[in-house]
Amino acid sequence: MAKYRKLGRTSGQRKALIRNQVTALLNNGKIITTEAKAKEIRKVAEGLIALAVKEKDNYDEVTVKAKVARKDKDGKRVKEVVDGKKVTVYDEVDKTIRKDQPSRLHARREMLRVLCPVREVPAKAAGKKANTKKIDVAEKLFTEIAPKYTGRSGGYTRIVKIGQRKGDAAMEVLIELV
C-alpha cells in the first residue's frame, strides 16, 4: 500500500505540482483543485502550519545600527560633492529586527524547501516587471497564519466538494484554511 498518491505524474512533476499548490493555498487562503490533489496538498500544508505554530514566538528582538540614505522632500537621495564626485549622504539609524532562534531558523528553511517564490503583480501595472513585489510566504506563515491557529491542535484546512468537472467528470473540491 502506497503512502501517497502518484497523481499520474513522475516524481519531479508531482513534487512541483504539490509545491505550487501548497504555496498558492497558503498565499491565497483557498484554491480549487481535484479531490486527490487536495488530499495530498492537505498533508503538506498542515505540516507546515503545525511547524509555524510551534515556532512562531521563537525569536529575539535585536537593535542594530543601519546606514540609510538621506532623502529630500521628493524622496530622492541627497548627494554632496566630495573630491569632485557626487556621493550619497548616509545617516545612521537604530533598527529593531527579529533574529530567529536556531530552531525557528531550521523551521523556516524546512518551509522554504517546500514553498515556491511568489511575486505579486498590482492590477494597474500588469505586465510591468518593475512594479512587482516579492511575498515571503514563510514569513506570512509565522506572522499571519500561525497566530490564528495557536490553540488548535491540527485540522487547519477544510475540503469542501463542489461537484464534477465538466470535461472529465473529476470531483472538484475547494480546499481552504479554516
Instruction: Give the start-to-end residue ranges of the domains of the chain.
Output: 11-57+102-177, 59-100
pLDDT of residue 44: 96
Give the mean model confidence (pLDDT) for residues 72-81. 89
Of 3.40.50.2300, 3.10.350.10, 3.90.1030.10, 3.30.70.100, the CATH number of 11-57+102-177 is 3.90.1030.10
Give the mean model confidence (pLDDT) for residues 92-104. 94
pLDDT above 60 for 1: no
pLDDT above 90 for 124: no
pLDDT of residue 66: 93
Give the mean model confidence (pLDDT) for residues 92-113. 95
pLDDT of residue 114: 96
pLDDT of residue 130: 72
pLDDT above 60 for 122: yes
- Cβ atoms of 59 and 100 closer than 8 Å: yes
pLDDT above 70 for 134: yes
Buried b (16+ CB within 10 A) or exposed e, 90-117: eeeeeeeeeebeeebeebbeebeebbee
Give the model confidence (pLDDT) of 43-69 as tens digits. Answer: 999 999 999 999 999 999 999 999 999
pLDDT above 90 for 27: yes
CA distances from 17 to 37, 63, 114 (A): 9, 40, 11
